[in-house]
Structure 1
């Protein structure tokens, strides 16, 4: 499949390019990536180059994973990345530290979910994050995902071991309202407790 862009009210989602490599390398070297992501660690420029030059184009060409750079309309600067694995509808996303807390990821995630439901036969989009990643949880919650529990994740850790994950899903038939049942992490609660 050829990569296709997506537009939101204020964002453009398009394929990452060589011009994004330095920003990806810088953002993915932030300590939060070591704790909550399964990206290589320590993250180096060569990892970003391989991601942009090989991983992303291969996913599009084989129609196995769609990956977009997140940008503001009319701007070249990379804000973050969002993707979906088509073998089960698993989404993944991140933003550089400067861009967090501005409602960017819920807007991007809603648009990606819409694209999945419009362009595939998948009946759900899945989400998971390392338990404790409250920022990722909030994005899924705001986008209308239903919390499905604290359990071993589908995506393994760097060493192949299972990750203790928070999980959720958005069904094709779901509205985008916030669903009940999410853990009260703001008050110190944890999922599954």
Structure 2
């Protein structure tokens, strides 16, 4: 009994010594493990606290609710992916859309879809989640277009965030309107050939 009691004291002491960034990292890692194992539906503050070896108060001091913790854990899981460099604008855009399409239907994409649905009525959290998504920022699209401009495939006027992200917006619309985890490849080709490339290439033309 004495050994067991001593073990508990050591364990408790070990928990109290973990503070600040170390404790936050442990909580995020535990929450990320819960997300990948059970999805957002199975994420609870109790489970995360137990897995992280701490108490719920430590969680609530950092995140006000389960959704905020889930978004932080998703951001902890998500990795930055570099845009493709196939040598052509069409090849880059099509491959980037295909990567996004595969991601949306992946296990991590399923978590993202759950979180987006849960954050639907919470603009602040929704914005935070969208900012963390690999496909939500204009930066990789501007990189792709910047290369195309340097190659002479697109006019400099195309380097605008709203123009750059049109293809991704259209792909997301497919997910939302059709309520499917992935779009057929022919849809991606159509987005690129019928909308994106004509829009980009037409930016340098004078208005009629």
- TM-score of the superposed pair, with normalisation by structure 1: 0.29
The structure that has the greater radius of gyration is 2
**Which structure would you say has the larger RCO, counting Cα contacts within 8 Å and 6 or more residues apart?**
2
- TM-score of the superposed pair, with normalisation by structure 2: 0.27
More strand by share: 1
More helix by share: 2
